Amino acid sequence: MTAPEQLGFEQMPRRLFRATPTRLLGWLDCPRRYRFTYLDRPPPPKGPPWAHNSLGAAVHTALASWWRLPLEHRTVEAAGELVERGWLEDGFRDEAQSYRWRQHARRLVETYTTGLDPADEPKGVERTVALTTSTLALSGRVDRIDERLIPADDPDTDGPVREVSAVELVIVDYKTGRHVLDTDDARTSLALAVYAAAAARTLRRRCRRVELHHLPTGRVASWEHSPESITRHLLRAESIGEEAYAAEQAFRAGLDDAAKDRVFPPIVGSQCQWCDFANHCPEGRRAYTSHRPWDGLDPEV
């Protein structure tokens, strides 16, 4: 008799599938790239780094570091200096292009921090939050978690109307790309919904509002989730996770090359132009020509 049968079970309960929103969306985007990223060991060599990723990383690092400064040092000038100190040269065509974009990144961060109250301390900066569902152990790192007042007469508040306002959490995600964001981007984002649910679970406070802060335009795209819409996103995450989990189990059981292509097929589309593993995907290369490392930068800057 096996150990599970001795305990009165037909089989041991399945372990929760550990994932981040990035991992789940990676499966949706392209199972082959998912395999290259998370399963193949060693993974195939990646192509050259992208300049737009270097830009985004430098801006995110500068803003996180700014909030970690002592309050009296959180100045606009300090924010710009943090960009200079954390700048990444990877992916730019040459030193002149890198310099121009470093100055642009500095302007973005300085303009953005001009509109911030240095004393309005976030609840979290680059904070990892987590939650479990019936099948998933989800976690992710949030750019910023703000605290905002809930009006005392908020109709969505449980219980009687309060005489004083309470505080809720707000998910803030920084964006530096060319795509101008709108409400639909915030509403449909699986990652933001997961972060909101996980922040509520981790910090034990209501969290339904999510915001995308687009630094190039200064626009904020926001959405106020309901408990039902959060649940829909979590069910979607579970559905994606089920597919990825099954594929991973098959991979670990052993697959020949033909079976790997069946279980982890390429999804060919415009995203192939930006794939780190384009050199290892004949289908993607035939359909799309890869961009140069700096082609993701806005040519108007």
Q: Domain residue spans in the chain?
A: 51-114
Please tell me the number of Cα atoms within 13 Å of 289 on its side-chain side: 3
Indicate if the pLDDT at residue 285 is higher than 50.
Answer: yes
The overall average pLDDT reported for the chain is 92
For the chain, how many helices (H) and strands (E)? 11, 6
At position 280, the amino acid (one-letter code) is H
**Does the pLDDT of residue 163 top 60, yes or no?**
no
Query: What letter represents residue 70's amino acid?
Result: P
Query: Model confidence over 52-111: pLDDT tens digits?
Result: 999 999 999 999 999 999 999 999 999 999 999 999 999 999 999 999 999 999 999 999
The b/e string for 3-26 (b: 16+ C-beta within 10 A; e otherwise) is: eeeeeeeeeeeeeebebbbebbbb
Q: State how beta strands 124-132 and 136-150 pair.
A: antiparallel
User: With contact defined as beta carbons under 8 Å apart, do 31 and 267 qualify?
Assistant: yes
How far apart are alpha carbons 233 and 200 in whole angstroms? Answer: 15
Closest among 194, 196, 213 to 63, alpha carbons compared: 213
185-234 pLDDT, tens digit each: 999 999 999 999 999 999 999 999 999 999 999 999 999 999 999 999 99
- Amino acid 158 reads D
Overall average pLDDT of the 258-263 stretch = 97
